[in-house]
Amino acid sequence: MKVLTILLQSVLLMSALAVSGQVVYAGGHDHGGEAEAVEEKGPNGGKLLREGNIAAEITVFETGVPPEMRVFIYRDDQLLSPEEGKLSMELHRIDGQVDQISFKAEGDYLRGEQTVVEPHSYDVVVRLRVQGKAYEWKYESHEGRSLINDAMAKASGIETDIAGPQTLDITRQLFGVIEVPIDRQAGIYAPYPSVLEQIHVAIGDKVQAGQKIATLRNIKTLQRYNVKAPIGGEVVEWMASIGQRVDENSLARVVDLSKVWVEMSAFPEDIEQLALGQPVRVADMHQHEIAPGEIIYIAPQMTGGHIARARALIDNGNGHWRPGMHVKADIRTAQRDVELAVRNEALQGFRDFTVVFGRFGDQFEVRMLELGQSDGEYTEVLGGLKPGTEYATKNSFIIKADVLKDGAAHDH
């Protein structure tokens, strides 16, 4: 079903593109149906820019060093000494930022003195002066872009959010078992030697406190009397049958399962993080049901296996949480305010990075992130994204697929 949903979303997106009369290629270029010209490459594999008999080969070098521009200068296709040229470069990014790159001679090339930050996606202006003559080139170098307007985004179910401050809930996960609270179970006894004459409720019946449970006859006085439920709850057990003599032994057991305990096992490093009153989020092992609660007890000592018991109380009005059920519990041990965070559903893998796709008008562009702590819903962003950036959340994988459909080459 998930695969079918993805296919349908892709069809909707491509249909919207067809209606708009545009063909969108990886990188977000609109080629209007015409074949893209093959750009000329230089001897070092870089983009070759020509004017007259002067040429500049633009490369981005990132092997063992932060990404940097390296430019080779040629006259009549012969490599010139880098000291013969004076070079500057502007990188105009989609969000309006302009990176100024200055160069100095090194080896047989001019090396950029500023790191070229990811993504390597920009409109480039190159200014070169050789022997007193000025040359200027402009070109596009886009990666990780996709052109998707509002109609296309709506058709494919793409949603966005604004990156900004967030309070992270720092949690610790423990495993446990559902148990009946001691104060919510009661045994029903005969007060004196009697014969059980009549049972008024069956196992599984719900009873109210004070409700008649059984009728007995006192063996000594032969008088009949009734026993009643001391608490409201569910009858879970009968230990006697009609006609049986009962003395002080238990007749039945009633439990109130409207609230239950979550008995959790905690190692020493867990116990150090726990405190009474901490919020707990309990889930069954298949994540079918989730219930909130709080820590009500932490054992004062460890067992022989160096495990301590921690206990939470949760509501069980719908009866989902059955005694003996194994569960897992996320305990909020702290809260932390961070300056910038994004939703986890927005995160995608792209090359060797974890990314989100920022929205800039009708275009989405990849943003490589440096990430910090996560609470399962939001993740702290330490770098790679500006505060206030609109970014794709739901169905962001569709944007990634559009970017990658013609290959994911990191080409400069």
Q: For tokens 């000494």, what's the residue?
A: 81
Mean pLDDT, residues 376-389 taken together: 96
**What pLDDT does 22 receive?**
35
- E strand or H helix at 25, and its extent? none
**What pLDDT does 40 receive?**
87
Cα–Cα separations (whole angstroms), residue 405 to 24, 143, 365, 397: 10, 12, 15, 12
Residue intervals of the chain classified under CATH 2.40.30.170 are 172-180+258-336
**What pLDDT does 396 receive?**
95
Sign for the CA dihedral angle at 57, 63, 409, 161 comes to negative
Residue intervals of the chain classified under CATH 2.60.40.3340 are 47-141
**What pLDDT does 339 receive?**
97
**Contact at 8 Å (CB) between 337 and 291?**
no
Q: What is the pTM of this model?
A: 0.69
Q: For tokens 């990430």, what's the residue?
A: 371
**What pLDDT does 4 receive?**
36
pLDDT of 142-190, one tens digit each? 999 999 999 999 999 999 999 999 999 999 999 999 999 999 999 999 9
CATH number of 172-180+258-336, picked from 3.40.50.620, 3.90.1530.30, 2.40.30.170, 3.40.50.720: 2.40.30.170
For the domain spanning 183-255, the CATH number is 2.40.50.100
Sign for the CA dihedral angle at 213, 219, 220, 224 comes to positive
pLDDT at 11 over 90: no
**What pLDDT does 15 receive?**
45
**What pLDDT does 28 receive?**
36
**What pLDDT does 96 receive?**
95
| 35 DSSP 8-state letter | P
Band of residue 407 on the pLDDT scale cut at 50, 70, 90: low
pLDDT at 16 over 80: no
- What is the average pLDDT value for the chain, to the nearest integer? 89
Closest CA to 384 of 161, 66, 98, 117: 117
Mean pLDDT, residues 60-78 taken together: 95
pLDDT at 363 over 90: yes
**What pLDDT does 68 receive?**
96
CATH top class, domain 47-141: mainly beta
pLDDT of 221-269, one tens digit each? 999 999 999 999 999 999 999 999 998 778 999 999 999 999 999 988 8
Residue intervals of the chain classified under CATH 2.40.50.100 are 183-255
**What pLDDT does 406 receive?**
60
pLDDT at 301 over 60: yes
